[in-house]
Amino acid sequence: MTLSKAANLPMSTPMPMRIIGIDPGLRVTGFGIIDRYNDRDLRYVSSGVIKSDQTELPKRLHDIFTSLMTVIEKYRPNCAAIEKVFVNVNPQSTLLLGQARGAALVALTQLIPEVHEYTALQLKQSVVGYGRATKEQMQEMVQRLLHLSNTPSTDAADALGMAITHAHSLSYLQHISASTTSTNNTLFAARSLRRGRRV
């Protein structure tokens, strides 16, 4: 397992929501961890890849599970985001990827109360703004959004991008919730005025 050095944050910084993103793969599984303070303040914590040199499938899945558990126990994320898997041209590859994803999901659900899923299209649209973005474009945007000094590997970039996607999703939901509350308050005030009440 390869880990990148975690960022050092000031002690006075308020507690953020910590998100771990997972890019599942049978040979290489990427992970990326960020802290979300608000919709514009996302900070890099750590990222890396889990590699398995095992030839037997059960042992590879075990490596993914145990290594990911180690990462989760070390960084204690509040929630997780993992890529959905769809059937592609090669059903056998899809099946193997699904098993790697399953091993990762089992690890995530051991210690993390919330696990969310996003498609590759949602990932690219959220991070790059274009559903057919290349791996290089993903790496570049992740580096820019998290103010990284180095370009992350493709697997780590996708995992960090998955965490960013969930952070953006939270911001959108909070915006919708705030807009709904504001609209409801306006409607209530208008109805009260029509009825001659003082608000």
Catalytic residue among 35, 63, 155, 158: 155
Q: Is 136 a catalytic residue?
A: no
Catalytic residue among 39, 83, 117, 136: 83
| Cα–Cα dist 26/48, whole Å | 15
3-class secondary-structure state, position 158 = helix
Distance of CA 136 to the CA centre of its chain: 19
| Cα–Cα dist 130/144, whole Å | 16
CA distances from residue 69 to 39, 91, 115 in whole angstroms, order as listed: 28, 28, 14
Catalytic residue among 23, 35, 63, 158: 23
| Cα–Cα dist 49/34, whole Å | 15
Q: Is 158 a catalytic residue?
A: no
Q: Is 83 a catalytic residue?
A: yes
**Which positions are annotated as active-site residues?**
23, 83, 155
